[in-house]
Amino acid sequence: MDPISDEQLFERYRAGEAEALRTLIERHHDDLLRFLTRLLGDRIAAEDVFQDAFLQVHISQDTFDTSRRFRPWLFTIAANKGRDYLRKKGRRRTVDLSAPVGGAGGGRDASFIDLMEIDVPAPGDAMDNAERDEEVQRALDGLSPPLREILLLAYFQRLSYAQIAEDLGIPLGTVKSRLHSAVASFARQWNLRTRSRGES
């Protein structure tokens, strides 16, 4: 028997079944919290924004079209809340374009997806995993908010360019160029950090 879909759960919630929203929160908790922690660079802020996102889901429940998928809608709401948080904090970072792209770090090479698979550090994690996770976050923090956002949305939602364009309300060409820039900039940031670590 197939598990009930997110969209069916949300319909049940709108029909008055409060437990259905709790199931959706539990179902998306880990991925959404990882996404927000990466986006904001702060676990505590991510937990606050996570709650804000689901509050907005509740407030906007009547606007959701259940012929569409729930997860992209949820992540788009969360990204908007995260963007609001960053704007309020006044965090604006520049991208370091001087670091070389290519193999570096004595066997430490990894793809963006490999790096993003690392969980947010929990108490008791091995130190090398926690350190690597911290380096990933620093590299992400080196990206401008629009680049960081589109990279994380593309990774966590696994959406097509067309779907990202629709969800963010930007042209398809902008999605392609921004995502390309984001991946290249992340690679530069990561390489710069692994080189510095190797030389220290």
pLDDT digits (tens, 9 = 90+) for 133-150: 788 888 888 888 888 888
90, pLDDT greater than 80: no
- Count Cβ atoms within 10 A of the Cβ of residue 145 and give its class: 0-12 exposed, 13-18 middle, 19 or more buried: middle
116, pLDDT greater than 60: no
Most confident of the following: 88-97, 140-149, 156-165: 140-149
* Domains, the chain, ordered by start: 1-91 (1.10.1740.10), 93-200 (1.10.10.10)
